[in-house]
Amino acid sequence: MGVTETDKKYVANTYARADVVFLRGKGATLTDRWGNKYIDFGAGIAVNGLGIGYGKWKRAVKAQLKALPHASNLYYTQPCAELAKLLCKRTGMKKVFFSNSGAEANECAIKTARKYSFDKYGENRFKIVTLINSFHGRTVTTLSATGQEAFHQYFMPFTDGFTYVPADDYEAMEEAVDDGVCAVMLELVQGEGGVKALDKEYVKKVETLCRKKDVLLIVDEVQTGNGRTGSLYAFMQYDITPDIVTTAKGLGNGLPIGATMFGAKCENTLTPGTHGSTFGGNPVVCAGAIAVIRSINEKLLSGVNAKSRRIRDVLAACPKAKSVSGLGLMIGIEVDNAQEMKEQCLNKGLVVLTAKDKLRLLPPLNISDGELEEGLEILREVLS
């Protein structure tokens, strides 16, 4: 039995996989089992942010794998402590909880917001306001947090206590944040929901509202984080100070990690026994993530913005690209048939993604000029 047949027979049928078996990759180039090469404008859905097999990451991971692959959270390990310190120094946040995925990072944020409120105000102040078209994960609670009806099917009963309001509608937000609300949770650029950046003035007003009502502001940077939008975290471009920032994906550059970062207000909300994770803070994953965060410097970020401009310039001259949205190297393209175009790109040797009815580009942040131009040439053909 071949790989595809074995997968179809034995792997749970939850993904509509494209008919490609990837064997290896380097930087922004993937190779399939027939030796065909593909330029990667998807980065494993924003995970391979520094490209496949990034040198500094690989060396750190290998060294830690040799020294100590796992010890458990009953003991201290250096990479976990070091990564938490690095994230706090670079973001101004105060403490970090490590897990294994974006959904878990958000689950932790939700638990923290509810406990913060419970400790201070008692019961019945547990609601969390999220945005329509948001995406926050696949656990029962993070599906509840996700403001899309399509995700509220089959698995009832969902976790209670979520309210959804339209993005960029301040009045709706103000009305929703009543005395029963403990947190507001936002993606600053909605990823799965269609690559839509929130309005800066709106976000600033929401921050002020949260401060006034002692409601925690949670920013979900699972997709926008780790340099993707042209700053280390997107909140830095919005001139806000969130109470909780969650991230995952690109922080691990290929290994599973989730991080929930707490600001001063809630840095001590979680206490021994109130939360935990067997694999969270794993030394190998954390050693790799340290290399990732250290590599996200001014030079890399200005490269992200330059590459973003280059992609937008090319798209501006493509007749089938009706509009372009997003921030940095998180780019949405409005087209007539995103699914069909994605397949055309793949057949020509370019990996792209979709988000709702848009094409979505999430290339590695350090993609070489050669790989970028090669990919853009294919995109130009498909969109002309």
Ligand X SMILES: Cc1ncc(COP(=O)(O)O)c(C=O)c1O
Q: How far is the CB of 364 from ligand X (least distance, A)?
A: 17
- Minimum CB distance to ligand X smaller for 141 or for 366: 141
Q: How far is the CB of 318 from ligand X (least distance, A)?
A: 26
Question: What span, in angstroms and rounded, lies between the C-alpha atoms of 62 and 59?
Answer: 5
Q: How far is the CB of 190 from ligand X (least distance, A)?
A: 8
- Minimum CB distance to ligand X smaller for 240 or for 383: 240
Q: What angle do CA 363, 338, 252 make, to 5 degrees?
A: 30
What is the dihedral sign for C-alpha 270, 274, 225, 336?
Answer: negative
- Minimum CB distance to ligand X smaller for 165 or for 248: 248
**What is the DSSP code (8-state) at residue 151?**
G
Q: What angle do CA 251, 221, 142 make, to 5 degrees?
A: 105
- Minimum CB distance to ligand X smaller for 183 or for 383: 183
Question: What span, in angstroms and rounded, lies between the C-alpha atoms of 295 and 273?
Answer: 34
Per the CB < 8 A criterion, the answer to whether 96 and 266 are in contact is no
- Minimum CB distance to ligand X smaller for 135 or for 162: 135
Q: How far is the CB of 191 from ligand X (least distance, A)?
A: 4
Phi, psi of 184 (to 5 degrees): -120, 135
- Other beta carbons within 10 Å of 112: 25
Per the CB < 8 A criterion, the answer to whether 117 and 153 are in contact is no
CB neighbours of 123 closer than 8 A, spacing ≥ 6? none
Using CB under 6 A, list all residues that contact ligand X.
101-103, 106, 135-137, 187, 191-192, 220, 222-223, 248
Phi, psi of 218 (to 5 degrees): -105, 125
- Minimum CB distance to ligand X smaller for 192 or for 243: 192
- Minimum CB distance to ligand X smaller for 192 or for 371: 192
- Minimum CB distance to ligand X smaller for 147 or for 191: 191
Q: How far is the CB of 62 from ligand X (least distance, A)?
A: 24
Q: How far is the CB of 248 from ligand X (least distance, A)?
A: 5
Q: How far is the CB of 85 from ligand X (least distance, A)?
A: 23
Question: What span, in angstroms and rounded, lies between the C-alpha atoms of 158 and 139?
Answer: 10
CB neighbours of 337 closer than 8 A, spacing ≥ 6? none
- Minimum CB distance to ligand X smaller for 123 or for 149: 149
Where does the chain show beta strands of DSSP type E? 22-26, 29-32, 37-40, 95-99, 127-131, 162-165, 181-186, 189-190, 196-197, 216-220, 244-247, 258-262, 323-327, 330-334, 350-351, 353-355, 358-361
Q: How far is the CB of 166 from ligand X (least distance, A)?
A: 18
Q: Measured at CB, which residue is nearest to ligand X? A: 102
Q: How far is the CB of 15 from ligand X (least distance, A)?
A: 12
